[in-house]
Amino acid sequence: MSRARPDLIVGRLAPSPTGALHLGNARTFLLAWLSIRARGGRVILRIEDLDGPRIKFDAAGRAIDDLRWLGLDWDEGPIVQTKRLALYEAAFERLRERGLVYPCACSRKDVETAASAPHPGEEGPRYPGTCRGRFADAAAARAVSGREPSWRFRVAPGEVTFVDGFHGRVAIDVSELAGDFVVRKGTGTAAYQLAVVVDDSDNGITEVFRGDDLVSSTPRQLLLYRALDFEPPSFVHVPLIVGEDGLRLAKRHGDTTVHRFREAGVRPERIAGLLAEWSGLAPLGAERMPRDLVAEFDLARVPRSRVICPPESSLEKTFGLPPMG
């Protein structure tokens, strides 16, 4: 399935239209873009819009406009996930034919109730394997729950290891961390883990560059790469931009969206310069466009710890804006 060439470096920008592009997202996209452009590679733009209930109207269009305004260009795309459902279904069928997935009648509440030690992972508590070996087929699961089952990937015990471009060697036991994970939702659409593996393989992605909140997703994706006989890309996970409470940026931290500052008249050089400053790539108060940073880009200059985004009032002063009131 992969269109990769051994001599070609290919990365991607993959915004999810569940909200506006904020400074934390933009900083990660800047670094991902620089990592590829500094080596003469190609950039693909992908819109990850499978999370139906959380998708915001026109968020994809705004993200595209904001990226382009910031000077982050791409060579192919936008590739939209909801237009690629047949590819995900074909991959799921391969897994099913190989006996690597099984139907699950559990709701999220069932999993939370059964879990002995819930943890705040991005996909909820560890799945205890309630439905593994329980049903002969989807019809049997449907008869128990009265709804279409989700499908989970069978995870074998043991660590999955990979070398992260920023953190070095990482080893995670998926069976202990997450258990058998969902690859196809009860709605019939692919879950995040399967969709991104299919997309990255089909698009010939050689480097996945993203925030370190997704480190735990990588071993799950590597299991799927192996199961589908796909060649995995390399992975780079950089520390997030967080609020003063240590949590990743969100509405609770005020309006830190690129759109807000763009509409207020802040120039892209000032925003990109601040993102570069936070990344150790430019001095305090510098004005830069992404293209200005390509020649001297060095991932080793990026801070090893998470960067704290100033409160909205401080950002307004930095950009010379009047308070929002």
Report residue 44: phi and psi, to 5°.
-110, 140
Is the model more confident about 2 or about 74?
74
pLDDT at res. 122 = 53
DSSP letter for each residue of 110-169: HHHHH-SS----TT-SPP--TTTTT-SSHHHHHHHHSSPPEEEEPPPSSEEEEEETTTEE
Residue 70 in contact with residue 272, Cβ under 8 Å?
yes
Over residues 82-116, the pLDDT tens digits come to 999 999 999 999 999 999 999 999 987 766 554 43
pLDDT at res. 153 = 98
In the 8-state DSSP scheme, what is residue 244?
Answer: T
Select from 158, 156, 140 the least CA-distant residue to 148: 140
Domain-wise residue ranges, the chain: 10-83+239-318, 86-194
Select from 16, 36, 7 the least CA-distant residue to 199: 16
Lowest mean pLDDT among 80-89, 213-222, 315-324: 315-324
Strand order in the sheet with 168-173: 168-173, 159-164, 234-238, 207-211
pLDDT at res. 112 = 52
pLDDT at res. 123 = 55
Average pLDDT of the chain is: 91
Residue 28 in contact with residue 58, Cβ under 8 Å?
no
| Cβ contacts of 40 within 8 Å, gap of 6 or more | 9
pLDDT at res. 113 = 54
Q: Which tokens sit at 163?
A: 């070398």
Q: Which tokens sit at 201?
A: 């393989």
Assess whether pLDDT exceeds 90 at residue 199.
yes
pLDDT at res. 125 = 83
Comparing 10-83+239-318 with 86-194, is the CATH topology the same?
no
Assess whether pLDDT exceeds 80 at residue 121.
no
Assess whether pLDDT exceeds 80 at residue 42.
yes
Among the listed residues 56, 109, 185, 251, the single catalytic one is 251
Average pLDDT of 120-130? Answer: 73
Residue 185 in contact with residue 61, Cβ under 8 Å?
no
DSSP letter for each residue of 45-64: EEE----GGGPPTTHHHHHH
Percentage of the chain exceeding pLDDT 90: 80
Per-residue pLDDT band for 305 (boundaries 50, 70, 90) equals very high
Assess whether pLDDT exceeds 80 at residue 142.
yes
Average pLDDT of 136-153? Answer: 94
Q: Give dist(CA 157, CA 163) in Å, integer.
A: 20
Average pLDDT of 161-176? Answer: 97
Over residues 53-68, the pLDDT tens digits come to 788 878 899 999 999 9
Select from 158, 299, 303 the least CA-distant residue to 235: 299
pLDDT at res. 115 = 44
Per-residue pLDDT band for 321 (boundaries 50, 70, 90) equals confident
Residue 272 in contact with residue 291, Cβ under 8 Å?
no
pLDDT at res. 58 = 86
pLDDT at res. 5 = 56
What is the CATH T-level fold of the domain 10-83+239-318, as seen in this structure?
Rossmann fold (3.40.50)
Assess whether pLDDT exceeds 90 at residue 221.
yes
Residue 72 in contact with residue 30, Cβ under 8 Å?
yes
Average pLDDT of 295-307? Answer: 95
Domain over 86-194 is classified CATH 3.90.800.10: yes
pLDDT at res. 188 = 93
Active-site residue, 251 included: yes
Average pLDDT of 262-289? Answer: 96
Q: Give dist(CA 133, CA 125) in Å, integer.
A: 20
